[in-house]
Amino acid sequence: MNRKHDYIAVFDSGVGGISVLRHLLRYLPGERYLYFGDSVNAPYGSRTTEEVRQLTLAAAEKLTTEYDIKALVIACNTATAAAVNEIRETYPDLIVIGIEPALKVGADRFPGGCIGVMATEVTLRENKFDTLLHRFEDDCTIAKIPAPGLVQRIEAGDTDGPETENLLRTILADHVGKLDALVLGCTHYPFAAKAISRILGDNVRLLDGGDGTARETKRRLEEACLLEAGDGEVTIINSAGNPEMLRISRELLYQER
C-alpha cells in the first residue's frame, strides 16, 4: 500500500534525469526523492531496444523491491520509448510517469515553423516517436537530429567545455539559421543548453519535457491523495558506485542555470 512519505523514485540511464528532478523539486518541494542513475550502463541511446527494455525493467525491479516507492518517474526518453508500457503492466498499482520529446509544445508555439528534435538513436527510431511525429508533421516542419557522443560528455560532467561545444557544432551544423525551436528530447541535453544557444542563437527556443513531466507527476499524486508536505529530501544512488558520479549528480542538481 502506497503511503504519502514513500519515495518518488526518479530513474534515468545516468545523470540526465537530474534535469527532470530539478523541475520536480520546484513543483513538489516537500517530497522524498530517490534518484537512481544507471551510469554503468549508459548510454542507453545507442543500444538495441531489447537491451534498453531489459535494463529499464531491471531498474524498476530494483527500485520497487529495495525501497518503498509511491511513484516511478522514468526521467529518460529512451527508457520510456522502450519500456513504459511494460512497466505499467508489470506494476499496475504504482504511479508510473514517462517522458517524451516536447514536440507538442513546439508545434503549439510555432505553427508552420521549423522544429528540430534532438534525441538518442533509440528514441528517434521507436514507434512511439513515429506516432508523435505523425501527429504534428502537418503543423510544422520537423527535423530529426541524433546526437551521438553528447550523453557521454554530460556523464563526464562536461556541460559547457570546448569539447562539448565542438561536438555540438558538428551535430547542429546543418541546422544553424533554420530552426524556430529545438526540442531537447533526451534528459541529458538541457545541461548543455548554454552551449547549444551559443551555436543556434538566443532566438531559437529550447524546449524540454521536464516541466510537463513534473506537472503530470504532481497531478497524479494529487489525484491519488499521495502528496507529501514534508521537509523535502533527495537521496542519490548510482549503479557506477563511485563517488565521482555522485559528485557530478549533486553538482548538476544544484548548479545555476
Cα–Cα distance between 172 and 185 in angstroms, integer?
Answer: 14
CA distance 58 to 95: 17
* 191 in contact with ligand DGL (CB under 6 A): no
Catalytic site residue from 114, 140, 186, 225: 186
Q: Measured from the CB atom, is 145 or 227 closer to ligand DGL? A: 145
Residue type, 218: K
Q: Tell me how far apart the alpha carbons of residues 57 and 60 are, in angstroms, rounded to a whole number.
A: 5
Please tell me the distance from the alpha carbon of residue 53 to that of residue 61, in angstroms, as a whole number.
Answer: 12
Q: Classify 241 in phi/psi space as left (phi over 0), alpha (psi -120 to 50) or beta.
A: left
Contacts to ligand DGL from residues 4-33, by CB under 6 A: 12-14, 16
Toward ligand DGL, which CB reaches closer, 42 or 142? 42
Q: Is 76 a catalytic residue?
A: yes
CA distance 101 to 7: 25
Contact 251, 20 (CB under 8 A): no
Count helices and strands (H / E) in the chain.
Answer: 11, 9
DSSP code, position 160:
S
Using CB under 6 A as the binding rule, whether residue 42 contacts ligand DGL is answered as yes
Q: Pick one of 32, 70, 188, 205: the residue that binds ligand DGL (CB under 6 A).
A: 188
Pick from 120, 213, 238, 239: which binds ligand DGL (CB under 6 A)?
120
Q: Half-sphere exposure of residue 124, counting CA atoms within 13 Å on the CB side? A: 19
Look up 186 and say whether it is catalytic: yes
Establish if 249 lies at the interface with ligand DGL (CB under 6 A).
no
The nearer residue to ligand DGL, 13 or 239, going by C-beta atoms, is 13
Q: Does 77 bind ligand DGL (CB under 6 A)?
A: yes
Out of 60, 71, 73, 76, the only residue in the binding site for ligand DGL (CB under 6 A) is: 76
Residues in 55-74 at the binding interface with ligand DGL, rule: CB under 6 A: none
Binding site residues, ligand DGL, CB under 6 A = 12-14, 16, 42-45, 76-78, 120, 123, 151, 186-188
Catalytic residue numbers read 76, 186
